[in-house]
Structure 1
Amino acid sequence: MSEVVVAGGDRDRLGAALEAAGATVSYAEGTADRPSLEAAGIEAADVFVLTDAGLATSVTVALDCNPALRVVVYTRDSVPEFVKGQIGHIVDPALLDPETVAEELLR
């Protein structure tokens, strides 16, 4: 079973789709700073999902806490260049629905 931490508003409900597909999902509150990522269990997570490009610095923090994370950005917004090299997948919800993304992430 996969442990997933979601940061951002998750308006497209990828977290719910991941839970329905069998993952254990927790949410980093607020700006997804180190304390909120740690409270969400980032150290034990397999996947970090960012749903708000405005919180892009949380990718660096999450990877600092857990270098083995698989990082996925699921947003319609542009992702800042400084973080693109740390992200495994950038997916636009207009192109792939949350159920399809959840299925692929949990394979």
Structure 2
Amino acid sequence: MSMDVIVAGPDEDDIAAALEAEGATVARLNGVISRPALEEAGIVDADLYVLTDIGQATTIPIVCDLSEDVRTVAYARDTIPEFVKGQLDLAVDPQLMDAGIVADELTS
């Protein structure tokens, strides 16, 4: 079973490549991420939304609004703002957990 993933933000810790290595189909979003950009990237049908830029944390509620089934993950070094913590399924600091381990867990 293929998993559709959107990785939003810069990917300095190679989570997109790690997810692809696990067989996921990954779409990448950079810059200021808007609702139309999320829709164009396929968020409505995505299985997983991985945010690597906490500055774009406002995208989490948008993603949850667009799809009830998508799992949301923050893979970033910065602290998650309180207003999105309740909507995140998982928050992981890349300094604590390697991208390969995270990708394996997310795809299994």
- Class of the TM-score when normalised by the shorter of the 2 chains: over 0.9
Q: Secondary structure at the match of 2:38?
A: helix
Deviations 1:37-80 (A, max 9, x none): 11111011000000011000000111111111101100000110
> Could you tell me the TM-score, scaled by structure 2's length?
0.96
Find runs of 4+ consecutive structure 1 residues off by over 4 angstroms: none
> Distance between the aligned counterparts of 2:100 and 2:14, measured in 1?
9
Mapped partners of 1:29, 1:42: distance in 2: 14
The unaligned stretches of length 5 or more in structure 1 are none
Amino acid across the alignment from 2:61:
T
What is the TM-score when the length of structure 1 is the normalising length? 0.96
| Aligned residues between the structures | 107
| Runs of 5+ unmatched residues, structure 2 | none
What is the match of residue 73 of structure 2?
Answer: 72
Q: Percent identity?
A: 50
Residue equivalent to 1:60: 61
Tell whether the 8 Å contact from 2:10 to 2:30 is kept in structure 1 after alignment.
no
Q: How does 1:3-22 map to 2 (within 5 A)?
A: 3-22=4-23
- Determine the structure 2 residue equivalent to 1:44: 45
RMSD value over aligned CA atoms?
0.8
Q: 1:72-94 CA deviation, whole Å, 9 max, x = no partner?
A: 10000011000000001000000
